[in-house]
Chains A and B, each alone.
Chain A
Amino acid sequence: MIYGPRDINSDVRRSADVAVIGSGAGGGPIAKELSEAGYSVVVLEEGAHYTREDFNLDPVDSFVKMYRDAGQTLTLGVPSILLPLGKTVGGTTTINSGTALRMPRQVLKKWQLVHGLRDITEEELNLLYAHLEEYLYVKRADPEVAGKVAQTFLTGAQKLGLSAGWLPRNAKDCEGYGSCVFGCPNDSKQSVNLTFIPDAVRNGADVYTCCRVEKIKLENGKATGVQGIFLDPQTGKKRYDLDVNARVVVLAAGAVYSPYFLLRQGICNSSGQVGKNLQIHPAVQTVALFDRPLDPPKGIPQACYVDDFREEGIMLEGGTVPPEIHALALPFTGKKHVQLMKNYPRMGIFGGMVSDTASWGRVVNVPRAGWRPTMFYMLRGKDVEKAKFAVSLMAQIWFASGAQKVITPIVGHYEIRGPSDLRRLERSVLSAKDFYAMSAYHPLGTCRMGDDPEWSVVKSTGETWDVENLYICDGSVLPSSPGVNPQLTIMALAIRCAGFIDERLSGNGSSGLSFISGKEGQQRVK
C-alpha cells in the first residue's frame, strides 16, 4: 500500500527484509524486484504521492509540489547552475523528459579499466537494457506529435548532414502535451511512479510518503534498519516517528541527497570520497526566432537529438517549454524582453548537454536551514569550450532551418543574426563566467562504485565498503558521466544490485529473482 499523510496517525515501528530510502530510478526497480522475489519491502519517500489527476500542466504548481525547494536548487560556483531535483514518488523520473538512452559502450569500457568494474559486462548491461526497454515501452518519439519546434530543428540538422534523429522515450501512446517535466497528464510517460512502484505495491511492498529517513541504524558494523520522521506536507514539520528494523538497507536518495545523508551521519566515508566527484550534465540553451509559427509548447519537450559530437561530450536534445519558462531564457529586460516574448509562438528553444570531464563538483554538509545539502560546482577548461561549441552548433542548425536570429546565453553574443556573428562567437575565448544562466541535470558520481576501497564508496555489487548490508543504488554510484540521460543505466544497475541483495538475503549465493535467475542471470552470477 502507498501510505500518505492521512494514513499515518501515530508512530510507525515495524520490520521488513529490505528498507529502501527513495523511490526513484534506483529505489523503484529494487523494490519491485525484491518484492517480486517474496521479500517484505518498505519504501520510504520524502516527497508526496501525486497522480495524473494532480498533474495540471502548470509549471509553478509542479515546481512547488514535486521539485525540491520549488525548483530553486542551485550549485555554488562559477557560473551558478540551476540543478532541479525531484521530490515525489518516482523521484526525478516523474518530472524528467522521458528520454531513455543506453549508455555508450566506451563509458563502460572506461569504468572497467579505470574503476575496476570488470564484472559489469556489456552483455549483461545490454540484457538489462533490453528488459527495461520492453517493460517501460521505450520507443522513438513519434514525429506526428513531436511538435513543429523539434521537426524544424531536426530538418536543420539534416540539412547540415549531422547525425540526428528522434529520441527513444519511455512513453506509451504519447500525445505530446509538452508537459513531461511537470508530470505527464495522461499517464503516457512510463515513469517509476507508474511502473516499478505500483508493481512493487502489488507484490506486497509498502510505500511510506512524506517520510524522511534521518538515520541508518548500525550494529557491529552492519546496517540493521532506519529511523526517521513523518512530515507534515504543508509545514514540513515532524508529525510522527518512524522506526524500521531491516535485514538490508538500500540508500537510493539520488546523487545529491545520498552523500549528504552519509555525511550527516558520518558513515561510509573511510575513503573520503563521499560527496566528491560530483558530475552533472551542464546545459546551455538557444532560442531561435522564425517568420512562421512553431506553436510551442505543444509537442514533446525532448523529442529529437543531434549526437554527431557525443564522443566529444556534446549531445543536443530539446523541444519546447511553456512561456513562463521560456521567458527566463532570454537575456534581456524591459521593452526588449516583452517585444521578444510577444513572438513566443514563432520561437523555438533547444538545449545542448555537456558531458563534464574537466569541471569540479562536490556535495558537502554545511549548516543550512532544514535538511539541505550544499553543492559546489566549477565549470572549467574543456567543458567551457564544449558548452560554447554546443551553442554555436545549435545556432548553425537553427539558421539552416530558416531562423531569423538566434539568442544565446553567452555574454557579448546574446544575439546572433548571421554568419559574421557566428564567426565572432566561434573565435571568442570564453570562461565559465561568460554564461548568462545555466541549468544542469543528472547529478552523478558522489558515492562512486569501484574495486578499490580507498578510491570508491561502494563495491561493484552496490554494497558499501564500510557498512555491511547497506547498499547504495542511484545515480551517485555511477563512477563517471555517461554523456546521455542516465535513467536507464541507473535502473539497470538497480536491477543488478537487487540480484546481489537477493543472494545476501537468501544466503545461498545465487539469485532467485525472476529476471536474473534465467540463463542470463546465471551468466552474471558466474
Chain B
Amino acid sequence: MTFLGISEGFGMSSRIKNLKTDLTRWADSTTTEKDEKNVLNGKDLKGGRRMTMLFRRQIEKLVRFYFHSCYWSGMPEADPDDQVAFVQWFMGVGAPEFKILYMICIISLHLFSLILRRRTFHGLSEQGKEEFMERLLRSRNPLLRGVPVLLSLPVLISYYRRDEVRIPMGFDPLNLKKDAEKHLVTRNGAPVPEKEEVG
C-alpha cells in the first residue's frame, strides 16, 4: 500500500530520508509533464519524481475542488494545468520552507480527513469536502485552521490572477497601465523624456 508516495516496507529512517529528498526535489516542476507521459507509457519513476508528480496531482485536485462551482456561478472555469503550474512556480520563488510546509498541509488535510471523516479528503463528495474545509476553517485550533488557510493561498491567487477572471471583475492591469502611461508624472513638472535614465 502506498500513501502519497511513501511505500510500506521501508524502515522509518529511510522513509524520512526519502521524504526529505523527495520534498527538496518537488520544486522541480519542469520535469513533471515528461513524468506524466512516462507513467502513461507504463514506465516506473524514481522516488523524487514520483513524489513530484503525486503532489502535482494533489494540487490539481485541490484546484478542481476550490473552483468546482465556478461554472454554475457564472464565473470562468478553472484551468487546472495553468493553475497547477503557477502554484508550483510560485512556491519555487518564495521561502524554501513554504513549499515544504505546503506539502505538510496536503498530507495533514488527508490525515485530518481520515481521522474525522474516515476517508482521505479527495475521497469525500464535493459537499463533504466543502463541509470538512469549513469545519477546519471554523476551528479555534490554529493548527487545524492553518491547513486550509495555507493551502488556499496560492490556489486562490492562481485563479483570480487570470485575465479572463479579473478583467470581468473590473481589474484590467493592462488597460490601467496604458492609461497610466498617458499621465506620467515628473518631479519638476518637465515633460517626460523618451526613456528616462538616472545617472
Contacts of B70 in A (CB 8 A): 338
Interface stretch of the complex, out of B6-14, B15-23, B40-48, B138-146: B138-146
Assembled-state Cα–Cα distance A336/B137 (Å): 13
Most chain-A Cβ atoms within 10 A of its Cβ — which of B67, B94, B96, B180? B180
Instruction: Tell me if B142 and A433 are in contact (CB < 8 A).
Output: yes
With known contacts A297-B171, A333-B66, A333-B134, A57–B166 Cβ distance under 8 A? no
Please report the total number of B residues contacting A with Cβ < 8 Å. Answer: 58
Instruction: Tell me if B187 and A195 are in contact (CB < 8 A).
Output: yes
Instruction: Tell me if A186 and B73 are in contact (CB < 8 A).
Output: no
| Contact code string B48-68 (vs A, CB < 8 Å = 1, else 0) | 000000000000000001111
A8 touches B (CB below 8 Å): no
Instruction: Tell me if A335 and B130 are in contact (CB < 8 A).
Output: yes
Contacts of B97 in A (CB 8 A): 368-369
Least distance between B160 CB and chain A CB atoms (Å): 4
Interface stretch of the complex, out of A73-81, A392-400, A450-458, A503-511: A73-81
B193 touches A (CB below 8 Å): no
Instruction: Tell me if A198 and B198 are in contact (CB < 8 A).
Output: yes
Specify which of A2, A79, A186, A368 is in contact with B183 (CB 8 Å cutoff). A186
Interface residues of A in 184-201 (CB under 8 A from B): 185-188, 190, 194-195, 197-198, 201
With known contacts A64-B93, A186-B180, A334-B66, A323–B169 Cβ distance under 8 A? yes
Instruction: Tell me if A433 and B141 are in contact (CB < 8 A).
Output: yes
Interface residues of B in 108-158 (CB under 8 A from A): 126, 129-130, 133-134, 137-142, 145-146, 148-149, 152-153, 156-157
Assembled-state Cα–Cα distance A385/B165 (Å): 38
With known contacts A177-B180, A328-B153, A338-B70, A72–B95 Cβ distance under 8 A? yes
Least distance between A3 CB and chain B CB atoms (Å): 9
Specify which of B73, B161, B185, B198 is in contact with A335 (CB 8 Å cutoff). B73
Contacts of A78 in B (CB 8 A): 142
Contacts of B169 in A (CB 8 A): 323, 341, 344-345
Q: Which A residues are closer than 8 A to B by beta carbons?
A: 1-2, 51-52, 55-60, 64, 69-74, 78-80, 137, 172-173, 175, 177-179, 185-188, 190, 194-195, 197-198, 201-202, 207, 295-298, 322-328, 331-339, 341-342, 344-345, 368-370, 372, 411-412, 414, 433-434, 436-437
Q: Knowing that A188-B185, A368-B96 are A-B contacts, what are 6 other residue pairs whose CB atoms are under 8 Å apart, sorted by A's residue number?
A: A60-B157, A80-B142, A186-B185, A333-B130, A334-B68, A370-B96
Q: Which B residues are closer than 8 A to A by beta carbons?
A: 65-70, 73-75, 90, 93-98, 126, 129-130, 133-134, 137-142, 145-146, 148-149, 152-153, 156-157, 159-161, 165-166, 169-171, 173-174, 176-177, 179-181, 183-187, 196, 198-199
